[in-house]
Amino acid sequence: MSVVEGQVHGARFRTEQQRDTSEAVCTFRVERYDDSGNRIQLIPVEMRGYRVEGSISDGDWVRGTGRMKSGTFRMTEVENLTTGADVRAKGIPRIALVFVFVLFALILAFMIWGAVQMFSTG
C-alpha cells in the first residue's frame, strides 16, 4: 500500500449501475506542490464501493492509502486533513454476504433432499 497526500481538485460523486447492482464512485485529483507553490505532481484518484461515507470537497487537503492501477490511484480510505473527516469506500456488509450464502446453502440442501426422496421411493 502506498500513501498519497495533497490538495483535492475535481471531486465528483456518482453511482454506476452494473447489472442488478449499483456502485458508489468518488473520483478526484490529488495535487502536490513544492515549497514555492508550483505543482509537482497530479494523481488521479478513484474510490469505489457499495457506498462511500464521508465528505471531500475541492481544496481540501487529504491523505489516503491505496494502490496504483492502470494510471489511477485506487483508494479505500482517505483522511480529510482539512475537516478531520474519514472517508471510506464500504463494501457490502459481511452479515449480508453471510445471509445470502446461508440462504443459498439451505435452498441447495432442500433441492438435494427432495431429489434423494424422489429417487429413493421409486
User: Does 34 score more than 90 pLDDT?
Assistant: no
What tens digit of pLDDT does each residue of 36-93 get? 888 888 999 999 888 788 889 999 999 999 999 999 999 988 999 999 999 988 776 6
Q: Could you tell me the residue ranges of all domains in the chain?
A: 2-91, 92-122
Backbone φ and ψ for 96, nearest 5 degrees, come out as: -65, -40
How is residue 103 annotated by DSSP? H
The third-level CATH classification (topology) of the domain covering 2-91 is OB fold (Dihydrolipoamide Acetyltransferase, E2P) (2.40.50)
pLDDT at 29: 95
pLDDT at 60: 96
Give the DSSP per-residue string, 46-86. EEEESEEES---TT-EEEEEEEEETTEEEEEEEEETTT--E
pTM, 2 dp: 0.69
SS3 content of the chain, % helix, strand, coil (to 5): 20, 55, 25
**Do the beta carbons of residue 6 and residue 32 sit within 8 Å?**
yes
